[in-house]
């Protein structure tokens, strides 16, 4: 592990203060990985349909030559990493704690596999730092800053890092590309992104033009305060 200077220092500084760099595993590959990075992210407690979509979209993104980028969280994000790996592509992971331990803890093998297969894991935090609501939010911001586009597979409208990533991505003029939202309550955030035209509808993972050239920015997303009783940010 070593501290790296970020090629995206300006954008990261604007949203996160003034980090000196990133802690990284597999950092030698970071410039190449971020050059074509696309986030595939969503709920930790995801529906089965969302997991299926995460695998399909991650595979399509990887096969189109982009770097699948996500956290190591349960649900959509870890499914995206594994699908891209099966497609033979390296991935980029963002961790909301020090790189000495995975988050969640039982994804230790995934934490090791990503850099071992040509990818990288990055964090804003020194080893020993534990995950918290603040580190989850900052890491969701970092995820948006590192990528060229964000695919929110499925997202709650409150208390989820995926929606925070989408909001920051829109602020940074990153395009949001979303599959159709289901009627499940866990897709309310996705439904709002589409209904308010913050995200471009991508009906299926085989819609290659949208995934191959994710360049058109979407309007900024209006941030909603988390509803009372919804609890802290999760990821």
Domain ranges in the chain? 2-212
Dump pLDDT digits (tens) for 51-94. 999 999 999 999 999 999 999 999 999 999 999 999 999 999 99
Cα atoms in the Cβ-side hemisphere of radius 13 Å centred on 152: 36
Q: Kindly give, in sequence order, each residue whose CB lies less than 8 Å from that of residue 106, ignoring residues fewer than 6 positions away.
A: none
Is the omega angle on the peptide bond into residue 104 within 30 degrees of 0, that is, cis? yes
Q: Tell which wins on pLDDT, 229 or 169.
A: 169
Name the burial class of residue 33, with classes exposed (0-12), middle (13-18) and buried (19+) by CB atoms within 10 angstroms of its CB: buried
pLDDT of residue 206: 82
Fold of 2-212: Rossmann fold (3.40.50)
Dump pLDDT digits (tens) for 142-200. 999 999 999 999 999 876 789 999 999 999 999 999 999 999 999 999 999 999 999 99
Average pLDDT value for the chain: 85
pLDDT of residue 157: 87
Cα atoms in the Cβ-side hemisphere of radius 13 Å centred on 148: 20
Predicted model pTM: 0.86
- Match 């290659």 to its residue by tokens: 208
């Amino acid at each position: 592990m070593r501290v790296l200077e970020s090629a995206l220092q300006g954008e990261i500084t604007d949203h996160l203060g003034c980090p000196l760099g990133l802690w990284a595993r597999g950092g030698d590959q970071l410039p190449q990985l971020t050059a074509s990075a696309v986030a595939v992210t969503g709920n930790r407690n995801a529906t089965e349909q969302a997991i299926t979509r995460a695998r399909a979209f991650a595979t399509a993104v990887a096969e189109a030559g982009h770097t699948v980028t996500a956290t190591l969280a349960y649900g959509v994000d870890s499914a995206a990493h594994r699908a891209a790996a099966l497609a033979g592509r390296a991935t980029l992971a963002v961790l909301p704690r020090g790189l000495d331990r995975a988050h969640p803890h039982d994804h230790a093998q995934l934490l090791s596999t990503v850099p071992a297969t040509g990818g990288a894991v990055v964090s804003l935090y020194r080893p020993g730092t534990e995950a918290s609501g603040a580190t989850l939010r900052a890491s969701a911001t970092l995820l948006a800053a590192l990528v060229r586009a964000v695919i929110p597979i499925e997202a709650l409208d409150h208390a989820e890092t995926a929606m925070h990533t989408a909001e920051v991505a829109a602020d940074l003029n990153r395009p949001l590309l979303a599959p159709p939202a289901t009627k499940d309550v866990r897709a309310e955030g996705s439904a709002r992104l589409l209904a308010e035209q913050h995200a471009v509808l991508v009906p299926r993972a085989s819609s290659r033009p949208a995934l191959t050239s994710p360049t058109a920015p979407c309007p900024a997303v209006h941030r909603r305060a988390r509803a009372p009783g919804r609890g802290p940010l999760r990821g």
